[in-house]
A and B are shown apart, each in its own frame.
Chain A
Amino acid sequence: MGVLGVAVPERFGGIGGDAVLIEALMEEVGAALVCGPFLSSAVFAAALLENLGDAEISAKLLPQMAAGSLIAAVAVQDAAAAGTQSGVAPKARQKASGWRIEGEVAYVIHADAAHILLVAAETSEGLRVFLVEGNAHGLARSPLSTFDKTLRLSRLRFDATPARRIEARRETTEALANALDLVRVALAGEQAGGARRVLDITVDYAKSRIQFGRPIGSFQAIKHMAADLLLEVESATSAAREAARLLSMGSASAGAAVSLAASACGDAFVKVTADAIQMHGGIAFTWDHDAHLYLRRARADAQLFGTPAFHREQYLRAMGA
């Protein structure tokens, strides 16, 4: 279906989809709780490569990524876990034999399955992004056990790891920020879509589960929770789609809209999945029921690429307040 090439330009064999298409796709990803490196590779890594714009590397990697034969992971200190760690970015030094990277990055998403890594490292000229092969010498990938079992996280150690510097046609920080905006919109879509599916599941259950001789959804205690959750779901959907729309237009207010979506969707997904378990009762306390899978994803998503509180602060600043 080509979805792995959604963020890859058509000239590199992708769909060249904009933020609106990616957000819509991610609503489905969230609804179905799709596992795997879609966000980390097909969105984040592809968008970062495209934004850096190294013609040779893009021509080499992006077609393979679009085809699904190459998985990439992005290792940027404080990106996936913005504000939750104060790690120091790895350092890159140029030797006679090429670039070498030293240091550590934690919270790297789906690095274990990646064939290549895009690593942000400090150079004497500032932050640059490097390409590191998955089987490079001096690269150690330590998987971390995670609360959301569908999310793989690793800590990466670089010990004189050979790397190739990716040429950038704009400031690295700007390329990173652009890619992160797209990732945050995509994640907001996943959160909105996931929240909507969980509410659907819960409402269906409330219609069919009989206690005291009537469906539990006829009790106002359940009905009122469902009504409140619908407001959360619709608001999250509005926020995610608006951020996608403004980002795809290159609007000056896209940054604020992304922060708004990131904070609103992050909170909404957690609220909806948490209340959904309560509304189900005992059945959702079992491992066999899917409800906890959604809560796990929601709690993970609310940490990735900045917490809702982080984005609320960003939103105020974007509004000049």
Chain B
Amino acid sequence: MTSQTPRGSQEALRDEVRAWLHANWPGRDREAPHGWLAKVVEGRWAVPRWPAVWMGRDLDDEHARIVESEFAAVGAPGAGQDRTNLWANTLLARGTDALKEKLVLPLLRGEVGMCLLYSEPGAGSDLASVRTRADRQGDHFRVNGQKVWTSFAATADYGMLIARTDWDAPKHKGIGFFFLPMKQPGVQVRPLRQITGESQFNEVFLTDAVCPQENLLGEATDGWGVLQTALAYERSAMGEAARGPRRGMGQSAPADDPLIALAREAGAMEDPVLRQEIAKVVILKRLNTLNATRAKADMRQGTSSSLMSLGKLAMSRILHEEARVRTLILGAESLLDGPDHPRADDTNFLTLNAYFTSIGGGTDQIQRNIIGERVLGLPKEPEIDRDVPFRAVRTS
């Protein structure tokens, strides 16, 4: 990367972005016009950190942030995909030339639907124990197995797939990473009904699905390594999202806290016991906001922050506690449900949906392992299946 650009180049760059946005973007906080992302790619603003050959500008992080901040200032999407576009980044880092040629630019232009085919019924927290198999047959792989927790599976063109390629290697060393074409007879998608009654995820059944050789990323048994690259991009994109504007639950000011609003409406603010319970939850939310503020300050100073990894655990607790206290406030009313009983309906939904955060994206227990090991430096649990041929590993 050409990072030795002089200071003045920052102002020149800022002027250039502004001029381009002025000429092309319809105006502050307007909707993106048709074909906008293609235009951003064409203007070389989508991935400014990338090399020129992939429509980048070889910019260092400092300069690339200028591009992003100018786009953000007028509410224009599409810049900074060299940090946030999980699919394109993973493909560029590890894909074959043929696949990169075919998909990198369409991914940046938002023309390709993608989904994740990682988790399986038998491989959740322990992702390296996937049992979906990919067997090489001539110039392609034949894929059989079942994936779960896949969003957008029905509309996706490709799924980022991890599948077992070598059953005699230890579990981390016999996995391949693929861009599996989703629109083929061997791929069947079935919506999964969650405990809340909603359906955001799918099960994906793979029966003799075909995946071309060129859609393999990295070596056929180095998929675990490619997955780490992909997960790093995913976390980085999520971390960026967490740095965004304050919104959503756990961030609201106490005065208009929805829990206090409910308690007022239900007459619970007169009850000293409930007041204590309510205060505990409101305080947990406020503490989470303060922790996030400190994390941002730490990051600005370049010090790594243990606070970032605590946020998800804190949010799980807040959501479960808030649902519990809502139930305390409502009492017998929480027996009811449905649109005729909106307070109960909300409370019951929140009670069930709290598990979305405490299980999804790594359970609280896995999160505690990560905090214990990576932040506090405690030793890992011995892994009895680590250096054993996968064939010999015990399953449930």
Contacts and interface: CB of A to CB of B under 8 A. Distances in A.
Interface in A192-232: 203, 206-207, 214-215, 217-220, 222-224, 226-228, 230-231
A218 B382 contact: yes
Contacts of A222: 378
A230 B306 contact: yes
Contact of B291 (A206, A219, A228, A234): A234
Given A218-B382, A223-B373, A231-B314, A312 B280 contact: yes
A297 B369 CA distance: 30
Given A227-B313, A242-B290, A312 B283 contact: yes
Interface string B250-288: 000011010010001000010010011011101100111
A296 to B, nearest CB: 25
A277 to B, nearest CB: 18
A224 B378 contact: no
Given A207-B378, A214-B379, A238 B290 contact: yes
B307 interface: yes
A319 B378 contact: no
B260 A207 contact: no
Contacts of B221: none
B365 A220 contact: yes
Interface residues of B, number: 41
B377 interface: yes
A226 B378 contact: yes
A218 B313 CA distance: 20
A214 B383 CA distance: 13
Contacts of A316: 275, 278-279, 282
A121 interface: no
Given A238-B291, A316-B278, A230 B376 contact: yes
Residue among A227, A238, A241, A264 facing the most chain B CB atoms (10 A cut-off): A227
Contacts of B378: 203, 206-207, 215, 217-218, 222-223, 226
Contacts of A263: 279, 283
A313 interface: yes
A256 B377 CA distance: 36
B287 A235 contact: yes
A319 B283 CA distance: 11
Interface string B208-230: 00000000000000000000000
Interface in B24-53: none
A219 B291 CA distance: 27
Contacts of A228: 313, 368
A98 interface: no
Contact of A313 (B260, B279, B371): B279
Nearest to B313: A231
Contacts of A239: 287, 290
A227 B369 CA distance: 8
Contacts of A96: none
A321 interface: yes
Given A218-B380, A319-B255, A223 B372 contact: yes
Contact of A319 (B254, B310, B314, B372): B254
B376 A226 contact: yes
B103 interface: no
Contact of A224 (B286, B372, B377): B372
Interface in A237-258: 237-239, 241-242, 256
Given A217-B378, A319-B255, A321-B254, A234 B307 contact: yes
Contacts of A260: 283, 286-287
Interface in A274-321: 309, 312-313, 315-316, 319-321
A234 B369 contact: no
B372 A227 contact: yes
Nearest to A228: B368
Contact of A227 (B255, B269, B367): B367
A234 B375 CA distance: 12
B382 A214 contact: yes
Contact of B377 (A207, A237, A313): A207
Contacts of B287: 235, 238-239, 260, 264
A123 to B, nearest CB: 34
B264 to A, nearest CB: 8
Given A312-B276, A313-B279, A316-B282, A224 B307 contact: no
B282 to A, nearest CB: 7
Contacts of B381: 218-220, 223
A235 B269 contact: no
Given A203-B376, A215-B379, A235-B291, A220 B283 contact: no
Contacts of B293: 238, 242
Contact of B290 (A215, A224, A235, A309): A235
Interface in B360-396: 365, 367-369, 371-373, 375-382
B368 A220 contact: yes
A223 B254 CA distance: 33
Contacts of A206: 378
B294 interface: yes
A243 B369 CA distance: 31
Contacts of B379: 207, 214-215, 217-218
A84 B174 CA distance: 65
Contacts of B371: 226-227, 230
A264 B281 CA distance: 11
B290 A315 contact: no
A206 B377 CA distance: 10
Given A219-B381, A242-B293, A312-B280, 18 more contacts: A207-B377, A217-B372, A217-B378, A222-B378, A223-B369, A226-B371, A226-B372, A228-B313, A238-B293, A241-B294, A264-B283, A309-B276, A312-B275, A312-B283, A313-B272, A319-B260, A321-B260, A321-B269
6 smallest CB-CB distances across A and B, nearest first, come from: A223-B372, A238-B290, A217-B378, A227-B368, A312-B279, A227-B371
Interface of B: 254-255, 257, 260, 264, 269, 272, 275-276, 278-280, 282-283, 286-288, 290-291, 293-294, 306-307, 310, 313-314, 365, 367-369, 371-373, 375-382
21 contacts: A207-B377, A215-B378, A217-B372, A218-B380, A218-B382, A227-B368, A230-B306, A231-B313, A231-B314, A235-B291, A238-B287, A242-B293, A263-B279, A312-B276, A312-B280, A313-B275, A319-B254, A319-B260, A321-B255, A321-B257, A321-B278
